[in-house]
């Protein structure tokens, strides 16, 4: 194949070459551009079908020559493979880093909710030392706190390769938020029965359908002599119930009738005093002096008449507890 250089730009590695692919072919002009290990070819010819085919044949010959004898194309292919692998690895690494960052952010939001939840746990557990909630359904004896999750890159990377993901973390965060709200309601219920105002107790008793009337104790008519005394109650409210005929019970007032007319709620400032009161009442169980049922709720003792049967005693106590702990 005959060839000679017509023009060249050594600095830019551009060459214009005239070629004669074979003895009987036309001369063709080919421009070459060398960029690294890649060679770019461009053929020039007039709009003549024979010259076009000759130009194409010349370019093919150059390509064959490079493939057979040179290293430009082989090096180029190898470089492209290496570059391709590097690009793929970089993309994978960037994708992992991006997802790990999302996991870190999601875990931070999760930890914020956990801290809020744990605050409610501490508050409730503190209330359990101030009141007794064992007679209140759905109120636990004690709550357990949750652990804060690590948000460093390595820990989050482990999360990425585990079954956990941002969606699951977000769902768990939402669940913790719901649990916190539930705890807040339980705390409010607990606060309502730990040393409540007597006026609050009286208002809630008025909402109990089977209670007819209520009357609070004063120092002048307190037959127990416990009002305002050390370890005594600071408030006491007697009530009558439509489950009994109060006309058959001796006494000019509800306080005079005592618990016989329906029952009473004795309100103490601390749970230990309320427990001591229950222990005192328990000493009369099974004797002729028994005054009926009694239940410790928060720092209050809910008492019912001995004239009520056990089912009626439970019913009235249960309805009072529900009303005292309801959130309005």
Q: What percent of the chain has pLDDT over 90?
A: 59
Of 277 and 74, more confident: 277
pTM assigned to the model: 0.70
- What is the chain's mean pLDDT, rounded? 86
CB atoms < 10 A from the CB of 105, how many?
Answer: 14
First to last CA, the chain: 101
Confidence of residue 70 (pLDDT cuts 50, 70, 90): very low
Average pLDDT of the segment spanning 119-137: 95
Average pLDDT of the segment spanning 239-258: 90
Q: What is the pLDDT of residue 37?
A: 65
pLDDT tens-digit readout, 22-50: 666 667 777 777 776 677 777 766 665 55
Q: What is the pLDDT of residue 112?
A: 97
Q: What is the pLDDT of residue 48?
A: 56
Q: What is the pLDDT of residue 69?
A: 45
pLDDT tens-digit readout, 165-196: 899 999 999 999 999 999 999 999 999 999 99
Q: What percent of the chain has pLDDT over 70?
A: 84
**Nearest CA among 193, 200, 196 for reference residue 298:** 193
Of 151 and 91, more confident: 151
**Nearest CA among 144, 167, 128 for reference residue 296:** 128
What would the two tokens of residue 201 be?
């107790």
User: Helix or strand or coil: residue 188?
Assistant: helix
Average pLDDT of the segment spanning 314-325: 96
Instruction: Tell me the C-alpha distance between 61 and 64, whole Å.
Output: 5
Instruction: Tell me the C-alpha distance between 232 and 254, whole Å.
Output: 20
Name residues whose C-beta falls within 8 Å of residue 313's C-beta, 6 or more positions apart in sequence: 292, 293, 304, 305
User: Helix or strand or coil: residue 141?
Assistant: coil
Burial (Cβ within 10 Å: 0-12, 13-18, ≥19) of residue 154? exposed
Burial (Cβ within 10 Å: 0-12, 13-18, ≥19) of residue 299? buried
Which residues are 9's β-sheet partners? 14
pLDDT over 70 (residue 68): no
pLDDT tens-digit readout, 256-277: 999 999 999 999 999 999 999 9
């Amino acid at each position: 194949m005959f060839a000679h250089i017509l023009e060249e730009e050594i600095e830019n590695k551009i060459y214009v070459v005239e070629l004669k692919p074979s003895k009987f072919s036309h001369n063709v002009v080919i421009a070459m551009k060398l960029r690294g290990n890649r060679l770019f070819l461009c053929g020039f010819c007039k709009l003549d079908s024979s010259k076009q085919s000759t130009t194409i044949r010349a370019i093919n010959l150059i390509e064959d020559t490079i493939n057979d004898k040179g290293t430009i194309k082989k090096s180029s292919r190898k470089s492209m493979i290496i570059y391709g692998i590097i690009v793929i690895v970089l993309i994978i690494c960037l994708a992992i880093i991006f997802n790990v960052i999302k996991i870190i952010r999601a875990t931070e939001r999760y930890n914020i909710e956990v801290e809020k939840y744990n605050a409610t746990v501490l508050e409730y557990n503190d209330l359990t030392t101030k009141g007794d909630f064992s007679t209140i359904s759905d109120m636990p004896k004690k709550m357990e706190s949750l652990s804060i999750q690590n948000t460093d890159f390595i820990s989050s990377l482990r999360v990425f390769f585990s079954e956990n993901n941002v969606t699951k973390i977000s769902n768990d965060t939402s669940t913790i938020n719901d649990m916190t709200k539930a705890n807040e309601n339980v705390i409010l219920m607990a606060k309502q029965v730990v040393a409540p105002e007597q006026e609050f107790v009286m208002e809630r008793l008025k909402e109990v359908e089977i209670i007819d009337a209520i009357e609070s104790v004063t120092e002048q008519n307190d037959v127990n002599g416990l009002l305002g005394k050390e370890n005594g109650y600071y408030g006491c409210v007697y009530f009558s119930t439509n489950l009994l005929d109060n006309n058959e019970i001796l006494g000019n007032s509800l306080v005079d009738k005592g618990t016989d007319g329906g029952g009473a709620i004795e309100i103490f400032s601390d749970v230990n005093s309320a427990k001591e009161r229950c222990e005192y009442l328990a000493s009369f169980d099974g004797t002729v002096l028994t005054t009926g049922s009694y239940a410790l709720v928060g720092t209050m003792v809910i008492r019912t008449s001995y004239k009520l049967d056990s089912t009626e005693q439970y019913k009235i106590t249960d309805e009072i507890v529900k009303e005292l702990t309801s959130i309005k």
